[in-house]
Amino acid sequence: MRYLLLKRDIMNLKEEELLIRISALIVQEMKGEQRAEDRLLLKKWLSESQENQAVYKRCFDQVMQKKAFESLQEFEKNRDFEKIRAKLFTTPAPQHLFSFKRLLPFVAAACMIIALGGVWYYSQVNKSIPSEIQLSQVDRLPAQNRATVTFSDGRQFQLNEHESQVHMDKKGVHYNDGSAVAETQSAQFATIETPRGGVYDVILPDGTRVKLNASTTLRYPTVFAADKREVRVDGEAYFEVAKRKNQPFIVETANQQVSVLGTHFNVNTYGNKSEMKTTLLEGKVQVKELTSGKHLILLPGYQSFVNKGKLTSRAVDVNQEMAWIHGRFNFDEKSLYEVMDELSRWYNVDIEYRGEMPDVEFFGGTYRTSKLSTILNILKDQNLRYHFTTNGKLIIEQNKL
């Protein structure tokens, strides 16, 4: 069994991600969708240097946009950063002076083209991008605030991507500022669902907070029963349960039931439906396997594990298990397929394996704010390569000798 440590250059990573963030803010400004707090961030960035101001102006320059797009095409053809760097910078620089700052004009312009799929630039010159080029250039960005609310009477509503949390009560669904999403009307149940590449926070009618990971469904009654608060989860969700002594909170999954009064815990039903994990951070919970009826009590720092009808518990590193809550991936002791399944959900990408894959376990991790291509660098150490097809599928295969 081989092991692989995912190494990160933190300083370069943070700088790169800042540029991507700033590029996204400029795109939002172009589209007229920028929030007040985003305008403040962009204004602060502009005030930091004249170089930043110059980049900002170049992002609106059609000539610069065209050059950036042509550079992207060249990058896709060569797939060799060193060649592109040599073309971008004709004067060699000492190694210690090289950083992402020197790529700032290119990154800002290129990221906007990627983010908009080329629509902004080509709408200005009344042209269109061939779909093959458009899709081959797209790098996958991390999960965003995306979710859908569906009421039991059939009404369905898309939640605002510029918000991160919704409140559910007997009257309906609304955002933090009080603006309404929808009224409950006669619906007895509601379902909030995040897609692949989507996350959302939910405040239930009793005040319980639920953080939904990507590709997760939460079903809840619009009005809780007097003697219990019962919800159902498929996917992964973190709960901070509001304490109500005479009204236990019950989370049901496909084959288990978790009962609490007030506590913090995580439920993970990803993968095989017969495998489920419940991790306790605070308080005490009872976990029951529905087929056998077996149950156990979890204490903080322990995790229950249901596998093919068997229920067991074990001590775990809570920080590692809850890495997703803190914006990180935890790849410890995970196989290539497990890591790629997690990336598939977070980045909303289908994955196809071609040829034999190495038997490898990972340890370490990285930030969930990284671009997919940044994380996929781990494949190089296993003699693997990847590319995207014209329909956006990620292909992983062995390097040819």
- Looking at the fold, whether 244 and 95 belong to one and the same domain comes out as no
pLDDT over 90 at 146, yes or no: yes
Strand ranges (DSSP E) for 39-171? 144-145, 148-151, 156-158, 165-169
Higher-pLDDT residue of 318, 309: 318
121 and 157 co-located in one domain = no
Q: Are 17 and 369 in contact (CB under 8 A)?
A: yes
Task: Indicate whether 261 and 167 sit together in one domain.
Answer: yes
End residue of a domain, out of 299, 321, 343: 321
Question: Into how many domains does the chain fold?
Answer: 3
Q: What is the CATH number of the domain that holds 380?
A: 3.55.50.30
Look at residues 281, 297, 321 and tell me which one is the last residue of a structural domain.
321
Range of the domain at 65: 2-137
Q: Does the pLDDT of residue 80 top 60, yes or no?
A: no
The four Cα atoms 367, 373, 379, 381 give a dihedral, to 10 degrees, of -80
294 and 390 part of one domain: no
pLDDT of residue 114: 42
292 in the same domain as 170? yes
Would you say residue 94 has pLDDT above 90? no
pLDDT above 90: percentage of residues in the chain: 45
Last residue of a domain, one of 321, 342, 369: 321
Q: Residue 156 belongs to a domain with what CATH number?
A: 2.60.120.1440
At 30, the pLDDT band (50, 70, 90 cuts) reads low
Q: Do 271 and 257 have their domain in common?
A: yes
pLDDT tens digits for range 44-61: 888 888 777 877 777 766
| Range among 64-78, 96-110, 192-206, 385-399 rated most confident | 192-206
Same-domain pairing of 166 and 61: no
pLDDT at 25 (0 to 100): 76
Looking at the structure, do residues 151 and 257 belong to the same domain, yes or no?
yes
172 in the same domain as 127:
no
Same domain, 106 and 122: yes
Any residues with CB less than 8 A from the CB of 240 and at least 6 apart, and which?
A: 208, 209, 210, 264
Least confident of 178-182, 313-317, 381-385: 381-385
pTM: 0.68
Phi, psi values for residue 298, rounded to 5°: -100, 140
* Same domain membership, residue 11 and residue 86: yes
- At residue 117, the pLDDT reads 38
Q: Is the dihedral of CA 13, 14, 19, 21 positive or negative?
A: positive
Same domain, 313 and 335: no
Segment 202-253, tens digit of pLDDT: 999 999 999 999 999 999 999 999 999 999 999 999 999 999 989 999 999 9
Which of 84-98, 157-171, 245-259 comes out lowest in average pLDDT?
84-98
The distance of Cα 227 from the centroid of its chain, to the nearest Å, equals 36
**Strands 165-169 and 198-203, sheet pairing:** parallel
d(CA 327, CA 385): 26
